[in-house]
Amino acid sequence: MSNRLGSVDRKTNETDISVTVKIDGTGLSNIETGVGFFDHMLEQLSRHSLIDMDIQADGDLHIDDHHTVEDVGIAIGQAISKALGDRKGITRYASLDLVMDETMTKAGIDISGRPFLVWDVDFSSPKIGTFDTELVREFFQALAQNSGMTLHINNYYGVNNHHIAETCFKAVARVLRTACEIDPRQSDRVPSTKGSLN
């Protein structure tokens, strides 16, 4: 299973993005999107999922960060889907409460082939530095839709908006890591009574 790799090149009038993921990695990342806070969050996603990620993005940042953040989410989702292939042997489900200082966030995942996002996260400010907090949801929406996963993210409480955003990325990273891992009791079977997760 060490060859679960996925690469996507996505070019539009708004962005030019290249993403490669290695599911069975060690959390190494090489990330340049031009959006500093977003790069920091993606590094957390890679490090705590143990998915190696190479992400290069050139977007229309002179307008705003929206297209870059959303399109990177699309490309990562597509790359993960490619890397998982027929999803044979994966654990599929995971759920986790993650704390960071005063903040607690829950993430739950089903790598089901049915994309869906449930988002219950509120920010007290429209910005973290220069980054629009509404783009955190946009990223996870794009990730869920294009990877074929059901993803629930619920922030229980928190004061610092940086911490709230970071716990979302770290919690999703941890459940993604668990759900992508191979279940040794059914390593040669797709974990579904339907026989397919695509």
For 146-178, what is each residue's pLDDT tens digit?
999 999 999 999 999 999 999 999 999 999 999
Q: How many residues appear in the chain?
A: 198
Question: pTM for this one?
Answer: 0.95
User: Considering the chain, what percentage of its residues have pLDDT values greater than 70?
Assistant: 95
Sheet holding 150-157, edge to edge: 93-100, 103-110, 150-157, 116-120
Q: 138 in helix, strand or coil?
A: helix
CATH of domain 5-186: 3.30.230.40
The per-residue pLDDT for range 4-62, each reduced to its tens digit, is 999 999 999 999 999 999 999 999 999 999 999 999 999 999 999 999 999 999 999 99
Q: Where are the domains of the chain?
A: 5-186
The 3-state DSSP class for residue 24 equals: coil
